[in-house]
Every structure is written in structure tokens, then in C-alpha cells.
Homo-oligomer: A and B are copies of this chain.
Amino acid sequence: MATMRDVAERANVSIATVSFVVNDTKPVSPATRARIVAAMKDLNYQRNVVARALASHRTRIIALLYPALDHRAGPTIMKFITKAASVAHSRGYDFVLWPVSNDAEQMSHLLAGGLVDGVLLMEVQVNDARVDRLVESAVPFALIGRTNDSSLPFVDIDFKVTLEKALDYFTSLGHTHIALVNEHTPGGLLDDLGPLVRTEASYREGMIARGLVPQVVFCEGSPQSGRLAATDVLALNPDTTAIIVMNENAAFGVVSGIKRSGLLVPEDVSVLSISTSSEMGALSDPILSTMNAPASELGELGVGALIDQLEGTVAHPPQLLIACPLVLGESTGPAPTRRR
């Protein structure tokens, strides 16, 4: 592998000058530049990124810290990662995966190695020790999700607007008895997870603001528990004509639960799966109406926010919220006109 020195010798210049043209960091006369470019081509020169990193104090690597224990592995997270890595690459950064347990200690250790210029932290909890560690580490970061500390840079789903849109949609179809099936794993890792908290709060607010009565049933992240939840909802309030489900796996169960109760989807009960993906929705029969987690957008904006910080192109740490777009499938429709 040719080095900068090789190029410099062949082009009869100093390695500093080679560096200037490689990085386009100082003006170089057209003639010299041409000689250098030719030499690079001849030698098939490729700059060594490790040496560059050591000398420049910038590795141009960013890390995604994600919960190693997380076995939820749908299209959403994969899209997020794929997009994040692509955007990083297109801006000249490498993207490393750091699976960390919730143990913040291990994280500090990784950061101290100096491998990365910045960090993206996902699955941020409302109170998150890892965030505190990040702050004290002085390594630039952006959060996917957010804590209570409103001064930190983050990108998150706008659950308030998402729920507003969901409720607007249903009320415009004449629904008044709209239930929420929300994920809740007591004592588990998901406890204290912002999305669930914010979803429920936004739902309740939105219902009350519309003069409607909130009805929340909890489920776990499985079709089976979704089935139970559907039964519960219908038992608690047989007038329910619409269900918003905040867990894509449970949504499948909600549909089959309703069917097993002898009711039709969407003729009797509409089902809307939120914070999920159309790909998942398409697997259901009827195809689920969904509000899609903006995974690619979160990846793109998250990486963008981080790199903007790294490159100092931004004054304030950005705080971005993105609502889930509504994609109609076959599982929602007008409220039934006659009582069942």
C-alpha cells in the first residue's frame, strides 16, 4: 500500500503538500496539484484512515449504542440502523455498533478508548443513567428518544401529534368509543420507556379534549396478549368501535381476538396499529392500517444532528420530533351505524 511519502517522492513535493491536496485543505498550484494527482493515481494511493485519525484527533467514526439485550427486532429498528449507517457513510463517517447492557460503566469504558468522535444513543429512557455518563464523558452525542432533561439534543417520535392524528382520523369516521391498548411490561426493561408513557398521556388528553372517555388496557408484546387485550376491551366496553394498539405484535392478536369474538374487522371494530411499519401491517389479514414509526427519518436526522455537532455547523443542539404518518390498510373504517 502506497503511503503519502511515496506519493510525495514521485511527485517531487513534500508530504505536507500531498496532504493539502488529499484533504483539499490549502491552496495548491494547478501544476503541482496535477503532478500529485497523477502520482496518486499511478500508485493507487489511498490515505490511511488510522494515521489520519491519530494525527487529526478525529476518527470520523460514530457509534450507535443500543441495548444488547433487546430482542425486539422488527423492520423498524433495522431500517433505522440501515439509514443511519448510510447517512453516516455519505458524510464520510464510519458507523460502529456498540451493543451495551444497561450498565453505564461499560459505556464509559468504550468512550474512553477514543475510537469514536460521537455517539448515538437509542432506546433512551425517561431516566437514563447512560445519558448522565454521556454528558460527563464530554463526547458529543445525540439521543434517539429523550429524557426529562430538555437541554439535550434528541430526535424522537412525536407521540402527541401522532395520537392527535389517530384520534382525528377516528372521530372523522364517526367513532366515539376509541380504546387504547398500550404495551406495558411491569418491572421489565421497557418500564419507564418514554414512548409508552407519552402515548398514553397524549391519548388521554386527546380523548378528554374531545369530550370522549379514555379507555386504556395494557398488553405485553405478543399476539397472545393482544388477543386477551381485545377481549378485555370488548368486555369492559362493548360499545368500543375503534382500538389503537401501541405494539405491533399485539396488534395482530387484537385483530384475531376481535374475530374470535365473532366480530368483524373493520365492520364492527376498527384497529389501528401505531408506531409500526407497513411491512408488518401487510402481513395481517385484513391488512392493518398503521401509523408508521419514522425509522429512516430518525436515523437520518439523528446522524445528521450528531455530525452537525461534530463539525460545528450548528449553533444549538437540535431537538426534533417527527409524527408517525398514517397509512390506511383494510383494518379501519367508518363507525358502525347501528348498535351491535
Interface residues of A (CB under 8 A from B): 1, 44, 46-51, 53-54, 59, 61, 68, 70-71, 73-75, 77-79, 81-82, 85-86, 89, 94-99, 109, 112-115, 222-224, 249, 252, 256, 279-280, 282-285
Contacts and interface: CB of A to CB of B under 8 A. Distances in A.
A68 B97 contact: no
A283 B89 contact: no
Count of chain copies: 2
Contacts of A283: 223, 249, 252, 280, 283-284
Contact of A97 (B49, B85, B223): B85
Contacts of A223: 282-283, 285
Nearest to A95: B97
A68 B82 contact: yes
18 contacts: A46-B112, A48-B114, A49-B113, A50-B114, A68-B82, A68-B86, A71-B79, A74-B75, A89-B99, A94-B115, A95-B96, A96-B97, A223-B283, A223-B285, A249-B282, A252-B284, A256-B285, A283-B284
B282 A222 contact: yes
Contacts of A74: 73-75, 78
Given A49-B114, A82-B68, A256-B285, A73 B1 contact: no
A118 to B, nearest CB: 14
B46 A50 contact: no
B86 A99 contact: yes
Contacts of A75: 73-74
A220 to B, nearest CB: 12
Contact of A96 (B73, B96, B224): B96
Given A1-B114, A77-B78, A79-B73, A285 B97 contact: no
A252 B285 contact: yes
